Chains A and B, each alone.
Chain A
Amino acid sequence: MSGAHAHALYYHEHSPVHRAPAACKLAAHLAFVLIVVATPREAVWAFGAYAVLLVLVGSLARLPLGFALPRLAVELPFVAFALILPFIASGERIEVGGLALSRDGLWGAWNILAKGTLGVGASVIVAATTTLPELVHGLERLRLPRVFTQMAAFMVRYLDVIADELRRMRLARTARAYDPRWLWQARAIAASAGALFIRSFERGERVWLAMVSRGYEGSMPAVGPGAIEARWWVASLAVPGAAGVVCVLAWIGLR
């Protein structure tokens, strides 16, 4: 892990979006996706407007267009579900290119693809512009229980250490010509998982002892920048604000 605690999706840049406090970005992210989900699927133009908003924020963050595309793969199983929907959904059928497809199913597929893709886009922008410590700090700012955010802090701090341990175990198995193809050959993998658990747990105990010996009494001192300036909140919440206007217009337009 580099000094900046970068992660797989982090994109190093200097931009207002990168500088914005994580709490503001997380709040804006949550509000934005909730608004997108609450938008009626028939208002196709509204989803275009949301996409334009995301592209604007993405270009403000100087993210290359296409940065988000590989990440869309995470929603593939649901894309598959969306693609079969027009064939299996009930209700009125319409003719599309010689196939009798369910009108309801087509709308449902559009709904899942549009909202899911916008959601991944928003997630990618926030993840690309926020480091792990900033994220944990932001969750704390948003009043998640402190026990929870402190566990999250330890988790993200040791994620790469544990994942590297797992990688070394896999290398060791492979070096001993272990190449299982069937479930009943999986014992060595389970043994690795067991060993990994014991090592993780014992590391946790060692970390705790090391902290106690340095005066730890059950909670970490609050660190990070002080109060968030109001302009950051205004700027961040302008994005879901604009999306909210679009959503209201979309509902009115349907009447």
Chain B
Amino acid sequence: MHIPDGFINAPVSIAAGAASLGALAASARRVSEELAERAAPLAGLVAAFVFAAQMLNFPVAAGTSGHLLGGVLAAVLVGPWTGAICIALVLFVQALVFADGGLSALGLNVVNMAVIGALGGYVVFRALRGALPRTRSGVVVASGVAAGISVVLAAIGFWVEYALGGTVGVDLGTVFGAMVGVHLLIGIGEGVITALTVGAVMSVRPDLVHGARDLVPSAAPARSGAPSGG
């Protein structure tokens, strides 16, 4: 559910576009430093993973289902900069290939989901990790709670954009209440699935979880083999 063309006025859309280009350029620089010449294939494959993970429906209640957004999941698994780039790549492809989200609103969507959702969510994750014990379950809990909070933060980001450039005079308090209320519920699902997914990766390849690198001695040999499952 991405912002379409015309929902937010042109000046705010253009400002968000400029801001997102700046954030992407900075992230791209960090990613090429971190991954060196592996950057393109690895980040590209992780972006394809995020895209697929967003198609993964999980049950919510009584047969209804939701789907993953994946901002904090990507940031915890591969690092905040690569994670933000991957979310932005997914948004680009969705806007250009699937007509999902307006091209003029692409900057707004990147700010909400890549900058606030992935980068901001990772800041929350680090803060939580500092407060929780330095254990594997600490990482799992921190990623889940951060994922839930990041969804609400992204909704607040949308609300700020709406307050600045929304095109109609609806009471801002009403919009805030509705957005935050709905996204609190979405955030619970996002948090649970993110925590379970991080836990699943931690149990097989803890060395691949960027947000838990301090728990894994870098000299330890990586366990080989992917988990079974189809």
Closest-CB distance, A18 to chain B (whole angstroms): 15
Do A159 and B51 have beta carbons less than 8 Å apart? yes
Q: Write out the residue numbers on chain B whose beta carbons fall within 8 Å of the beta carbon of A184.
A: 192
Expressed in whole angstroms, the Cα–Cα distance for A139 and B14 within the complex equals: 18
Do B227 and A104 have beta carbons less than 8 Å apart? no
- In this complex, what residue of B is CB-closest to A184? B192
Q: Write out the residue numbers on chain B whose beta carbons fall within 8 Å of the beta carbon of A202.
A: 226
Q: Which of A127-175 contact B (CB under 8 A)?
A: 127, 132, 135, 139, 145, 147-148, 150-159, 161-163, 165-166, 168-169, 171-173
Q: Write out the residue numbers on chain A whose beta carbons fall within 8 Å of the beta carbon of B49.
A: 162, 196-197, 200-201
A148-B28, A204-B42, A207-B45 are known contacts. Are A194 and B192 too (CB-CB below 8 A)?
Answer: no
Mostly, the B contact residues are helix
B residues near A (Cβ < 8 Å) are 1-7, 9-10, 13-14, 24-25, 28-29, 31-32, 36-49, 51-53, 55-56, 58-63, 68, 73, 77-78, 85, 89-90, 92-93, 95-105, 167-171, 174, 188-189, 192-193, 196-201, 204-205, 208, 226-227, 229-230
Q: Which of A183-218 contact B (CB under 8 A)?
A: 183-187, 189-205, 207-208, 211-212, 216-218
Q: Write out the residue numbers on chain A whose beta carbons fall within 8 Å of the beta carbon of B43.
A: 151, 154
Closest-CB distance, A187 to chain B (whole angstroms): 6
Mostly, the A contact residues are helix
Closest-CB distance, B224 to chain A (whole angstroms): 10
- In this complex, what residue of A is CB-closest to B28? A147
A74-B98, A111-B168 are known contacts. Are A88 and B39 too (CB-CB below 8 A)?
Answer: no
Expressed in whole angstroms, the Cα–Cα distance for A237 and B170 within the complex equals: 36
Contact of B85 among A116, A148, A198 (CB under 8 A): A148
Expressed in whole angstroms, the Cα–Cα distance for A51 and B1 within the complex equals: 24
Chain A: residues with Cβ within 8 Å of the partner, total of 100
Q: List 5 A-B contacts (CB under 8 A).
A: A30-B103, A41-B167, A180-B59, A186-B192, A191-B196
A residues near B (Cβ < 8 Å) are 7-9, 26, 29-30, 33-34, 36-38, 41, 71, 74-75, 77-78, 85, 88-91, 104-105, 107-109, 111-112, 114-116, 118-120, 122-124, 126-127, 132, 135, 139, 145, 147-148, 150-159, 161-163, 165-166, 168-169, 171-173, 180-187, 189-205, 207-208, 211-212, 216-220
